[in-house]
Amino acid sequence: MIVSDLKTLRERVVLTPNLATAIDWLVAHGNEAFPLERQVVDGDKVYVEVQAYDTIEGDEWKFEGHRTYLDIQYVVEGAEIIGWASIDDAEVTTSYVEEHDYWLGRVSPKNATAVKLHAGQLALLYPEDAHAPRRAVGASAPVRKLVVKVAIDE
């Protein structure tokens, strides 16, 4: 997991072609008001899921992971906590769904790290990163977020 803002992201990651495309798009369009639907950047190589929701309170964190895509989770408005853990510490509760590139699981609180993201900040999540997004910072509050899905370059 890499936590950053758009200004310094290029300095923190190795830019594969798909990741460079994703970051270029995010820098150019990250604060536009998109409808809550998929935005295609480069076919299935790079696309964006536009999300708006109220964050979730409570102690139960639902972790997820991916195999073929990296996530860039960019908070446009609001703030949230994303739980992070190594996939080695995750107990899978829903097996991998290849069609949608995800698995679900849980992680013991002793092995999870809470990362707070404010508007303008992002987390870059690799397949090795189990993550539990949408967590409340205090009370539940609205968040608008772009999840940029980046196919892992071969």
Tens-place pLDDT, residues 8-63: 887 878 789 999 999 999 999 998 889 999 999 999 999 999 999 999 999 889 99
- Tell me whether strands 90-97 and 102-107 are parallel, antiparallel or unpaired: antiparallel
**pTM for this structure?**
0.93
Tokens of 49: 């899921």
Domains and CATH numbers, the chain: 2-151 (2.60.120.370)
Strand order of the sheet with strand 46-54?
Answer: 2-5, 121-125, 69-77, 142-151, 46-54, 38-42
How far is Cα 53 from Cα 70, in angstroms, rounded to an integer?
21
Residues 51-107 pLDDT 10s: 999 999 998 899 999 999 999 999 999 999 999 999 999 999 999 999 999 999 999
Q: What's the mean per-residue pLDDT of the chain?
A: 94
pLDDT value at position 4? 87
User: Which whole number is the average pLDDT over 125-143?
Assistant: 96
The per-residue pLDDT for 154 is 60
Neighbouring residues of 137: CB distance < 8 A, sequence distance ≥ 6: 55, 79, 80, 81, 116
